[in-house]
Amino acid sequence: MADKQTPDIVYTTVDEAPELASASLLPIIQSFASAAGITVGTKDISLAGRIIATFPEVLTDAQKQSDDLAWLGEWVKTPEANVIKLPNISASEPQLVAAVKELQSQGYALPDYPYSPSTDEEKAARAKYDTLKGSAVNPVLREGNSDRRAAAAVKKFAQDNPHRMGKWTSESKTRVASMSGGDFFSNEVSATLPKAATAKIVLETAGGETVLKDGVSYPEGTVVDATYMSAAALDAFLAEEIEKTKAEGTLFSLHMKATMMKVSDPIIFGHAVKAWLAPVFEQYGDKMKELGVNPNGGLGALLERVKDEPEILKAIEDVRDTRPPMYMVNSDKGITNLHVPSDVIIDASMPALIRDGGKGWGPDNAQHDTNCVIPDNSYAPVYDAAIEFFKANGALNPATAGTVQNLGLMAQKAEEYGSHPTTFEIPEAGTVKMILDDGTVLHSHAVEAGDIWRSASARKAPIEDWVQLAIDRQKATGYRAIFWLDASRAHDAELIAYVKPILEAKGVADKFEIMAPREATIASLETITKGENTIAITGNVLRDYLTDLFPILELATSAKMLSIVKLMNGGGLFETGAGGSAPKHVQQLQEQNHLRWDSLGEFCALGESFKFYADQKDNEKARVLGTAVETATQGILDNGRSPSRKVGEPDNRDSHYWFARYWAEALAAQSDDADLAAHFAPIAKALADGEAAITGELAAAQGSAADLGGYYHGDADKTASVMRPSATLNAIFA
């Protein structure tokens, strides 16, 4: 896999705020690494980059670029892999369409995104575009399980400098609403395959059999699930919750994962849009369909499609007047919870609401109690339990709270996040069957038109690796360790059948507890409220949810998490926190030339990557670099050098200057490697001597609009000019 052009460490090219920050930070990293003979190169996994790589046949030679995601997908299966992976866009349909339009405006002859493909050409284009939606990147790169925790320095800083928490009271009307039946949770079936098998998924109807998917291969020991959500039950639930919300006098909010769950959740989101505007769809549904309205795209796209239809607009206004107030993304601009499916992402939105005392922002630009609608009941109990806990006990105190670490089963497209190719909106009533190559009907469901059916799996090797990681982590820390598994849920019962024998064989069964998510949430909150620590050992979705929930409560943000993926073939993947790609940060930069993105997650990942490289290649200079990164990170925290949110105050670029300075000073002061000390002593001096000039040049750059040459596909030179405005600093690392 490796060749002469393969860098020692890959630093991914991504999107939005973290990519802007990279334009400032990466040249510094490359300069420092070169002193130890280490190359840090890039591979492009951005949305725009992936679009370009997917359509080479319509591009000029100058526009074409390699499929870096495919390359990385192979590299992470090798022992040499060392990847620093920044957050990338998990694109919803509106984001994908916007990125395509921007590239077209830049001269890329890409086909339009076909909303309703009819010709073979449109169907082929749509099939390609669909591969780019949602979590297209993470399942490819995550060839290992997840180890996420707050770095010791970050946790200590949060305790010494506790963030503001909203006040909880027992009178709060905030609650979580979930379906009591007909959802994925209640309809789930699961089985562990005794031998390797290939399956086909078919829909049997009165008119015959349709093959939905063929040739799905599973190795021996794979846990294979199947389930469906009833469209009728979903619609009834949504209509009921809208009315309940109005009666309770709270905000209506919907919390989904329309990015990672790129097939099922946009459909559920579309049901919510239709439920909200039910009278409008009843009266004008045919006309809106003619206009190209797809409710799955959200209210924003719908309103754009009907903007020249005053009768429909009036009907929408009339319905809005009868509805409860809605949870807002941006009340100043009138952007609601239902405007764009990717605007309200459950793993970020629910923790933020809980941190704020159960309050959400309403259309009046004030905070109110909220009905948090999470249709499927698989993971909703986590948030319900947290809300009820804080109602009874008051807000968590970050100054005294312990920590929740996480070990997540995510390797090889584990669980629901790997279900995209096997998720279907059922076209007509019938029976969906999973049939193995020996004729065995593994799973079967009677379904109606519009139901959402899906299958997911978890393989034996990742499961065993996950349990061993848990054993190792518990031994290293001595913390309370809980497997978040519900014995009454079909999939979890199959995992428990793996977990218990392994723990018993290793003689550590007494060190672990197994609890359903609701009970595990309560137990974990009780533990950290006492100032003690615990390890949450979870599946893939809960890994994602909990590594936002607990860090946002403990640290105010999930972007500062240490996130290590021990790749199963020996390599390392170092993710820069659990945070998203922060589109609001980009908007502020464009308007005010101030980037408030905090690169602390990148700093943490960088130190781990260097130390891993030291072990991997027996390179002690890399270890010295990694240790000095930790010292520099501590310096950022201790001296308050993280970015401010406000224009005119130090931002991301300032924090990079201070990081470079503290890093160079630590290397100059260390005694483990004389060559590195000698190399960095003059750099440290130049950075210190240039403080006034550098900070002045950085400050002078702020305040006016910044031209990046594009949002999804910016101009590299323009971006570098914006993100590296200090000639003095640039000269030091020239």
Least confident span in 4-13, 87-96, 577-586, 629-638: 577-586
pTM of the model: 0.87
pLDDT computed for residue 290 by the predictor: 93
- Which phi and psi angles does 78 have, rounded to 5°? -110, 155
pLDDT computed for residue 579 by the predictor: 64
Residue 562 banded pLDDT, cuts 50, 70, 90: confident
pLDDT computed for residue 225 by the predictor: 98
Beta strands in 576-645 (DSSP E): none
Average pLDDT of the residues of the chain: 95
Residue 730 banded pLDDT, cuts 50, 70, 90: very high
pLDDT digits (tens, 9 = 90+) for 327-358: 999 999 999 999 999 899 999 999 999 999 99
8 A C-beta contact, residue 673 and residue 620: yes
> What percentage of the chain reaches a pLDDT higher than 70?
99
> What percentage of the chain reaches a pLDDT higher than 90?
92
pLDDT computed for residue 151 by the predictor: 86
Average pLDDT (541-547) is: 95
pLDDT digits (tens, 9 = 90+) for 212-267: 999 999 999 999 999 999 999 999 999 999 999 999 999 999 999 998 898 999 99
Average pLDDT (33-59) is: 97
Strand partners, 197: 218
Average pLDDT (392-420) is: 95
Distances (CA, A) of 578 to 50, 144, 362, 437, 613: 22, 16, 27, 40, 22
pLDDT computed for residue 561 by the predictor: 83
pLDDT above 90: residue 135:
no
C-alpha span between 293 and 300 (Å, rounded): 10
- Helix, strand and coil in the chain, % to nearest 5: 50, 20, 35
Residue 138 banded pLDDT, cuts 50, 70, 90: confident
Token digits for 703? 């305040």
pLDDT above 70: residue 3:
no
Angle between helices 540-555 and 152-160 (to 10 degrees): 40
pLDDT above 50: residue 393:
yes
pLDDT computed for residue 153 by the predictor: 84
| Buried b / exposed e along 118-133 (16+ C-beta atoms within 10 A) | eeeebeebeeebbebb
C-alpha span between 362 and 326 (Å, rounded): 6
pLDDT digits (tens, 9 = 90+) for 64-94: 999 999 999 999 999 999 999 999 988 888 8
Residue 2 banded pLDDT, cuts 50, 70, 90: very low
pLDDT computed for residue 687 by the predictor: 98
pLDDT digits (tens, 9 = 90+) for 494-533: 999 999 999 999 999 999 999 999 999 999 999 999 999 9
pLDDT computed for residue 686 by the predictor: 98
Residue 4 banded pLDDT, cuts 50, 70, 90: very low
pLDDT digits (tens, 9 = 90+) for 449-485: 999 999 999 999 999 999 999 999 999 999 999 999 9
C-alpha span between 373 and 344 (Å, rounded): 12
Burial, 529: exposed, middle or buried (Cβ in 10 Å; 0-12, 13-18, 19+)?
Answer: middle
DSSP secondary structure letter of residue 177:
E
Phi-psi region of 412 (alpha: psi -120 to 50; beta: other; left: phi over 0): left
8 A C-beta contact, residue 442 and residue 501: no
Beta strands in 239-384 (DSSP E): 251-254, 328-330, 335-336, 359-361, 367-373
pLDDT digits (tens, 9 = 90+) for 676-729: 999 999 999 999 999 999 999 999 999 999 999 999 999 999 999 999 999 999
C-alpha span between 289 and 308 (Å, rounded): 15
C-alpha span between 637 and 644 (Å, rounded): 13
Chain mean position to CA 193: 30
Average pLDDT (585-591) is: 96
Indicate the helix (H) or strand (E) that contains 680: helix 674-689
Average pLDDT (88-117) is: 94
pLDDT computed for residue 578 by the predictor: 63
Residue 581 banded pLDDT, cuts 50, 70, 90: confident
